[in-house]
Amino acid sequence: MATISKSPAAPACDLQRIVYASAASQAYAAPQLEQLVSKARERNGRAGISGMLIYHEQFFLQLIEGPGPALNSLFARLRADAGHHRIVLLLRERIVQRTFADSAMGFAQLTSADLAQMPGMADFVARRMTLQTLTPVRAVRLFNAFQDVAGFALAGAHAADGMTHW
């Protein structure tokens, strides 16, 4: 599931990407996730930040991209947010173009069965992995799987009220 909203483009010379994983401080129900994503879309859109958030069994995996100063500010707020802890920075790099140029915050709430069906994630469930244990390359590949919406149908994704399936 995901909803796409436009975000302003940042100057190409200053584009950066951060990918991090964290443990949720509590189990989030669909209405709580919807509220969290809605607020993020509003803030990110104003700051010129795009990205995607994945929620799986009380863990978050997020890719955010945009101007360096805006990402620094956002990541500092995320680190101080009581809604999650054990933040693991998987990747920070300069980029030439955005992965989620048209989305201030895409979102997917995935089950283990969903993840097992995704490209390169077949062993995720068998090895009882968490989103925090993904390598940077594997995390980026997971996000890239959401880019080809027509080519990959996420049959079992759970849509929170007001959110759309990919």
Q: Quick one: pLDDT at residue 161?
A: 33
Residue with tokens 């990407």: 17
Average pLDDT on 89-111 reads: 92
Higher pLDDT, 1 or 54: 54
Enumerate the domain spans of the chain: 12-145
Rounded Cα distance between 107 and 70, Å, is 20
With cut-offs at 50, 70 and 90, classify the pLDDT of residue 22. Answer: very high
**What is the per-residue pLDDT across 128-164, written as a single tens digit (0 to 9) for each?**
889 999 999 999 989 988 875 433 333 333 333 333 3
Higher pLDDT, 156 or 21: 21
Rounded Cα distance between 46 and 73, Å, is 13
- Domain spanning 12-145: CATH 3.30.70.100: yes
Burial 84-105 (b: 16+ CB within 10 A, else e): beebbebeeeeeeebbbeebbb
Rounded Cα distance between 161 and 65, Å, is 26
Rounded Cα distance between 151 and 162, Å, is 24
- pTM greater than 0.95 (yes/no): no
**What is the per-residue pLDDT across 45-94, written as a single tens digit (0 to 9) for each?**
999 999 999 999 999 999 999 999 999 999 999 999 999 999 999 999 99
- In whole angstroms, how far apart are CA 95 and each of 22, 53, 143? 23, 19, 15
